[in-house]
Amino acid sequence: MSIDIREYLHTKRKIVEKRLNSVFDDMDDPSGILDAMRYSLMAGGKRLRPILCIAAAEAVGGSGNAVMPAACALELIHTYSLVHDDLPAMDNDDLRRGKATNHKVYGEATAILAGDGLLTAAFEIMTHPKDLDDSTDPALWITAVHLIARAAGYAGMISGQVLDIDSEGKDIVLTELERLHRLKTGALIEVSVRCGAILGGGIDNEIKALSEYGKTIGLAFQVYDDILNIEGSEERMGKKTGTDLIRRKATYPLLLGMNKAKQKGENLTANALRILTMFGNKGEPLRALARYVAERTR
């Protein structure tokens, strides 16, 4: 069995975006801050983390729909991190996915608060009583909240951003670059897969294998992102390319050379595929996702 990954991604993206779009529907918005939150949340994006979460749940025989609150929470957290990273005090970016960044549209104060709002709402929607039916074990959701908070927090994504800011203009070595990426993007991608497996009812060795898969493609994703920043077209990427070279930012192609960077990406993809063997046909979407991460460069 083989699936059409473009169609799979398209279908899942529609489902995720429909849910994201309705996530704040029945809630009060006493100050109008939801406008700014929605602006960045609905500004496009691959929805990679929610789709990984859903695909992992399905790989262990669980329901994609049942894990949707976690899938959406992951996208809210990803979006908040982009809004804060773009701020003048951080990367000071004017454009994101071809659109003006949050603070360019709403001002700096509102952008900070919109990011705060997205982060907080992630934990609100993951624990919403309407979604937690009697058939779901609340202890699994407690675990998922804990793991996601940990991956998004100072032990994960936030420290990655600190290290990224600290490393600007400095020469860093490969092990430091790898550590930075494992924290900044890897931790959230890994936890997306892991929580999908946990909430989907996976058994211990399935959860362990899928966490390893998540860690592996999280790194592959960054390696290919660095390659694309040099070789990709702006049109296809929806953002400026070549920016890493201009900023003299440490990247895999810069530290390893382009050929070795590509070899590293291929090795990681092969490892990810090997891990999925035990899931048979049910692992096909995750297999296709691993290939998709690599194929973006072609």
| 173 interacts with its own copies by CB under 8 A | no
The Cα 5–Cα 37 span in angstroms is 30
* Residue from 3, 42, 95, 142 binding its own copies (CB under 8 A): 142
The Cα 72–Cα 174 span in angstroms is 33
Q: Provide, rounded to whole angstroms, the least separation between the CB of residue 158 and its own copies.
A: 5
* Residue from 43, 100, 158, 273 binding its own copies (CB under 8 A): 158
Q: Provide, rounded to whole angstroms, the least separation between the CB of residue 187 and its own copies.
A: 10
262: which residues sit within 8 A by CB, 6+ positions away? 227, 297
In 10 A of CB 66, how many CB atoms? 18
Q: Which is nearer to its own copies, 186 or 285 (CB)?
A: 186
- Find the distance separating the first CA and the last CA of the chain, reported in whole Å: 23
Q: Provide, rounded to whole angstroms, the least separation between the CB of residue 84 and its own copies.
A: 6
Q: Provide, rounded to whole angstroms, the least separation between the CB of residue 205 and its own copies.
A: 20
The Cα 188–Cα 199 span in angstroms is 16
In 10 A of CB 188, how many CB atoms? 24
Torsion of Cα atoms, 209 then 149 then 45 then 23, to 10°? 110
Q: Which is nearer to its own copies, 188 or 261 (CB)?
A: 188
DSSP secondary structure of 24-37? TTTS--SSSHHHHH
Q: Provide, rounded to whole angstroms, the least separation between the CB of residue 250 and its own copies.
A: 16
| 5 interacts with its own copies by CB under 8 A | no
275: which residues sit within 8 A by CB, 6+ positions away? 209, 210, 212, 213, 216
In 5-107 the beta strands, taken as DSSP E runs, fall at 95-96, 99-100
| 94 interacts with its own copies by CB under 8 A | no
Specify the stretch interacting with its own copies by CB under 8 A; choose among 12-20, 102-110, 211-219, 252-260.
Answer: 102-110
Q: Provide, rounded to whole angstroms, the least separation between the CB of residue 61 and its own copies.
A: 23
| 231 interacts with its own copies by CB under 8 A | no
| 55 interacts with its own copies by CB under 8 A | no
Residues that bind its own copies (CB under 8 A): 24, 27-34, 37, 80, 84, 87, 89-90, 107-110, 112-113, 115-117, 119-121, 123-124, 126-129, 132, 138-139, 141-143, 145-146, 149-150, 152-155, 158-163, 165-166, 179, 183
